[in-house]
């Protein structure tokens, strides 16, 4: 096994060959960008492109590869001169339109800023394109640059790009702020936007396997391809939002054994993301930070009225803070499949970024909740029963919330931890799905019933009785038999077993009853 020098937080520092070897899932997007680069100078309308995606989703990795491939393309051209300009990833020095022009020109020849003005710089840039060839400009953090340009600078830049066909912008941004989404903005509808979505569990597995092979970590590579790892990958993806940066960190530094204790692993590794989120939070107003803190503490969506009560401000003031936070991509109105079962006069809001929620919770609250959430997710996404008694409390809350939803009341669902509710919604699509989920949940819980004290077993038996009363199906009766056996109500279990007509379910019930007898003896 070798050490893999993977720059998780600054992919632009990585060598081209390593970027290429560890690039997964996004080749179609990269090919689209390269086709647009190849057409520059050959079409009257350059296709200016903006990659949009959250922190850590892989924008810089993609931009870096597009840059390197464009440099190769430029070096290989004979009849046309294609030139490549890559602006700094953190564009702190680009504070005006003049400085933006100078930053582009400086890629090819030094520009004296003291005597520079936008008219002369624009003329210099146009002349350079006419004489030396078109320019591809790679520009990250576009929203930050546009904010620095201001409305007037943005208008002048758009005018330049509309009248000069020898420039192509390939940019990236974490969000479409007002400079890009407002109808009155100079750049509204200007860019062809390509959204970079977080990795699916399957794509995360591909990246983890790729990084393991790159590090010559045969054990992790083999483990990543196995069936057991998929449950853990789904759990981590769900907790962190599936951003590639998380997998870059895990796949380049860990062994297979590290994934056996996900709670410990996440507690140890997620802290590396804290400085970024603290820096971003510092840019918010005190009220905006307070709204964020209350959502983190609640751990589930809240309507404006409840948020206003928690922060001690008027609803109108809090609504304005929510609007600003939504524009900055911190929070969002919750879209849930249980919407029709909720009070339509109330809109719920929650954090956009699951990783932000996890990082801020670990910094601001008791971390004992994390093992419970991890155990729940591993149970929910897996096929095995519960292995920790700490998971039963949350699982019981989930069953009670599902039971309420089946009766037309989804308010308890919205009170569940967001991570749990969102995991439920992956599998539950309708009322029939709710019934199936409850049967599956009670069956898995029954496998770990020996972990429970007798008083808690009685509560779970009551849940099984409730479900059987509602469904009156062979599956619900089998579930009841399992819990009657687990609670040592053997006569009642045998009576319930006698009503099951399906041979397979009857056999499973008899096995559960036999196992309970043996465990007691």
- Minimal CA–CA distance to 479: which of 444, 432, 514? 444
Bridge partners of residue 193, in order along the sequence: 50
Distance CA 315, CA 321 (A): 10
Residue 291 near residue 328 (C-beta atoms within 8 A) = no
| Beta-carbon-side half-sphere exposure of residue 238 (alpha carbons within 13 Å) | 26
Pick the CATH number of 275-364 from 3.30.365.10, 1.10.10.10, 3.20.20.70, 1.20.1090.10: 1.10.10.10
User: Tell me, what's the pLDDT at 2?
Assistant: 53
DSSP string covering 43-86:
SSS---EEEE--TTSSHHHHHHHHHHHHHHHHHH-SSS--EEEE
pTM metric for this prediction: 0.86
Architecture of domain 26-195: 3-Layer(aba) Sandwich (3.40)
Distance CA 104, CA 98 (A): 10
- Map out the domains of the chain as residue ranges: 26-195, 275-364, 369-520
| Number of Cβ atoms within 10 Å of the Cβ of 182 | 13
Distance CA 22, CA 337 (A): 36
Distances 180 to 151, 168, 191, 304 between C-alpha atoms, Å: 11, 17, 9, 27
Sign of the CA dihedral 364, 366, 368, 372? negative
Run of H or E including 474: helix 474-486
SS (HEC) of 401-468: HHHHHHCCCCHHHHCCCHHHHHHHHHHCCCHHHHHHHHHHHHHHHHHCHHHCCHHHHHHHHHHHHHHH
User: Tell me, what's the pLDDT at 521?
Assistant: 67
| Beta-carbon-side half-sphere exposure of residue 299 (alpha carbons within 13 Å) | 18
Per-residue pLDDT of the chain (521 residues), as tens digits, is 555 556 667 777 888 999 999 999 999 999 999 999 999 988 888 999 999 999 899 999 999 999 999 999 998 876 568 999 999 988 889 999 999 999 999 998 776 555 578 999 999 999 999 999 999 999 999 999 999 999 999 999 999 999 999 999 999 999 888 888 889 999 999 999 999 999 999 999 999 999 988 888 888 888 888 877 888 899 999 999 989 999 888 877 777 777 878 888 888 788 888 888 999 899 999 999 999 999 999 999 999 999 999 999 999 999 999 999 998 889 999 988 787 778 778 889 999 999 999 888 887 665 557 888 888 888 888 877 666 666 788 899 999 999 999 998 989 999 999 999 999 988 887 667 899 999 999 988 888 888 888 888 999 999 999 999 999 999 999 999 999 999 999 999 999 999 998 999 899 989 988 888 887 76
Distance CA 104, CA 162 (A): 17
Distance CA 196, CA 322 (A): 25
């Amino acid at each position: 096994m070798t050490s893999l020098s993977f720059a998780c937080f600054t992919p632009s520092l990585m060598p081209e060959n390593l970027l290429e070897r560890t690039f997964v899932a996004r080749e179609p997007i990269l090919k689209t960008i390269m086709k647009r680069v190849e057409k520059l100078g050959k079409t009257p309308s350059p296709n200016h492109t903006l990659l949009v995606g959250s922190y850590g989703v892989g924008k810089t990795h993609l931009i870096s590869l597009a840059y390197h491939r464009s440099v190769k393309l430029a070096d290989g051209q004979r009849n046309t001169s294609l030139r490549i300009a890559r602006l700094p990833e953190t564009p702190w020095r680009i504070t005006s339109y003049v400085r933006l022009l100078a930053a582009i020109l400086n890629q090819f020849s030094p520009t004296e800023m003291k005597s520079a003005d936008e008219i002369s710089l624009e003329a210099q840039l146009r002349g350079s394109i006419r004489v030396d060839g078109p320019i591809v400009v790679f520009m990250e953090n576009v929203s930050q640059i546009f904010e620095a340009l201001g409305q007037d600078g943005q208008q002048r830049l758009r005018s330049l790009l509309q009248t000069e066909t020898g420039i192509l912008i390939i940019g990236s941004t974490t969000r479409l702020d007002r400079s890009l989404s407002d109808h009155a903005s100079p750049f509204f509808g200007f860019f062809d936007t390509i959204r970079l979505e977080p990795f699916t569990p399957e794509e995360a597995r591909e990246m983890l396997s790729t990084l393991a092979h790159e590090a010559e970590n045969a054990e992790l590579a083999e483990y990543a391809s196995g069936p057991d790892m998929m449950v853990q990958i789904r759990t981590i993806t769900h907790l962190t939002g599936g951003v590639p940066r998380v997998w870059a960190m895990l796949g380049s530094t860990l062994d297979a054994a590290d994934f056996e204790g996900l709670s410990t692993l996440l507690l140890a590794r997620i802290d590396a993301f804290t400085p970024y989120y603290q820096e971003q939070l510092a840019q918010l107003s005190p009220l905006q930070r307070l709204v964020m803190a209350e959502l983190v503490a609640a751990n589930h969506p809240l309507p404006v009225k409840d948020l206003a009560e928690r922060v001690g401000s008027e609803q109108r003031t809090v609504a304005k803070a929510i609007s600003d936070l939504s524009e900055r991509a911190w929070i969002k109105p919750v879209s849930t499949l249980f919407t029709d079962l909720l009070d339509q006069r109330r809109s719920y809001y929650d954090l956009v970024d699951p990783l932000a929620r996890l990082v801020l919770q670990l910094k601001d609250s008791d971390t004992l909740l994390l093992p419970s959430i991890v155990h729940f997710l591993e149970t929910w996404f897996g096929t095995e029963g519960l292995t920790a008694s700490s998971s039963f409390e949350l699982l019981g809350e989930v069953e009670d919330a599902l039971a309420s939803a089946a009766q037309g009341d989804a308010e308890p669902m919205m009170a569940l931890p967001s991570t749990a509710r969102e995991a439920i919604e992956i599998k539950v699509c309708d009322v029939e799905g709710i019934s199936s989920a409850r049967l599956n949940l009670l069956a898995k819980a029954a496998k770990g019933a020996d972990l429970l004290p007798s008083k808690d077993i009685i509560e779970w038996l009551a849940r099984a009785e409730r479900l059987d009363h509602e469904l009156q199906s062979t599956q619900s009766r089998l579930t009841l038999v399992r819990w009657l056996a687990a609670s040592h109500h053997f006569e009642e279990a045998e009576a319930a077993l006698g009503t099951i007509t399906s041979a397979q379910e009857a056999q499973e019930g008899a096995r559960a009853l036999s196992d309970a007898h043996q465990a007691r003896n």
